[in-house]
Amino acid sequence: DTAVSQTPKYLVTQMGNDKSIKCEQNLGHDTMYWYKQDSKKFLKIMFSYNNKELIINETVPNRFSPKSPDKAHLNLHINSLELGDSAVYFCASSPRTGNTEAFFGQGTRLTVV
Amino acid sequence: AQSVTQPDIHITVSEGASLELRCNYSYGATPYLFWYVQSPGQGLQLLLKYFSGDTLVQGIKGFEAEFKRSQSSFNLRKPSVHWSDAAEYFCAVRGAQKLVFGQGTRLTINP
């Protein structure tokens, strides 16, 4: 059983398109995140949700819109894709927003051409 | 604000040799610290964590890390590396509702 699963694993799309990445966790966690890993492997928080409520929006462009239909799912929709959006996007979850580790999905490699 | 520095971008060691990856953090209160490993094309796997108590923590795959408050460090060690340890290693500190990661250290193993 995959704890945190993301789909798709790979996504290649043209500039200007709109795309979504889905994430689901079966760990019963309250908190979910989206991280972006750039070409230099640097990991940066984008969003954090706790029980479907947005907690962190880390200066991410409005083209990125997370949606959490329930606490087990956190999807990421991206409008008007740009070349600079090419990266690996990781979904993660943790039991709560307190001092715990996060469990990561396998990542979605997004390539904008 | 919390921050993590991993001074070594890339380290190469021979198989069977010992390993130490450095991590320095900046955090005002008692830090909650983590080491993650990322194999090529994979997600991040937790190796070990420090919350409190014994400053030497044991993790999976034979890794350990030592928390030194006086040096603001949380270095990762392994006495004898295996070829399968080749990967990217990330140190992280728990901040307000998020993990803050270092830049990562890429580990290459020579046969």
Percent of chain A with pLDDT over 90: 82
SS3 A93: strand
- pLDDT recorded at residue B40: 87
In this prediction, residues B94-101 reach a mean pLDDT of: 86
**Region for A50 from its dihedrals, namely left if φ exceeds 0, alpha if ψ lies in -120 to 50, beta otherwise:** beta
Q: What is the DSSP string of A66-92?
A: EEEEETTEEEEEE-S--GGG-EEEEEE
Interatomic CA distance for residues A108 and B39, integer angstroms: 15
**The pLDDT of residue A52 is above 90:** no
Q: Quickly state the pLDDT bin for B4 (edges 50, 70, 90).
A: very high
Buried b (16+ CB within 10 A) or exposed e, B33-52: bbbbbbeeeebbebbbbbee
* A107/B97 CB distance under 8 A: no
Q: Tell me phi and psi for residue A102, to 5 degrees.
A: -110, 150
Q: Which residues of chain A are within 8 Å of residue B99 when distances are taken between CB atoms?
A: 45, 92, 101-102
Average pLDDT, chain B: 94
| Chain A residues 37-96 within an 8 A CB cutoff of chain B | 40-45, 48, 50, 55-56, 58, 90, 92
Q: How many CB atoms lie within 10 A of CB B4?
A: 24
* A99/B51 CB distance under 8 A: yes
In this prediction, residues A68-86 reach a mean pLDDT of: 96
Nearest CA distance, A14 vs chain B (angstrom):
22
Mutate to test the interface with A, among B37, B57, B99, B107 (most CBs of A within 10 A): B99
**The pLDDT of residue A21 is above 70:** yes
- pLDDT recorded at residue B53: 87
- B19 vs A59, B12, B79, B105, CA distance in Å? 37, 9, 6, 12
**The pLDDT of residue B7 is above 80:** yes
Helices (H), chain B: none
- pLDDT recorded at residue A97: 62
In this prediction, residues B78-93 reach a mean pLDDT of: 97
- pLDDT recorded at residue A56: 86
**The pLDDT of residue B51 is above 80:** yes
Whether B103 has its CB under 8 Å from any CB of chain A: the answer is yes
**If you measure CA to CA, which chain A residue comes closest to B87?**
A41
Strand partners, A4: A25
Interatomic CA distance for residues B68 and B59, integer angstroms: 17
Q: Tell me phi and psi for residue B41, to 5 degrees.
A: 75, 10
The pLDDT tens digits for A61-72 are: 999 999 999 999
Amino acid at A95: P
**If you measure CA to CA, which chain B residue comes closest to A95?**
B97
Interatomic CA distance for residues B57 and B65, integer angstroms: 5
Taken in order A96, A97, A103, A105, the sign of the CA dihedral is positive
In this prediction, residues A9-30 reach a mean pLDDT of: 96
* B97/A40 CB distance under 8 A: no
* A41/B49 CB distance under 8 A: no
- pLDDT recorded at residue B42: 87
**The pLDDT of residue A24 is above 80:** yes
* A106/B97 CB distance under 8 A: no
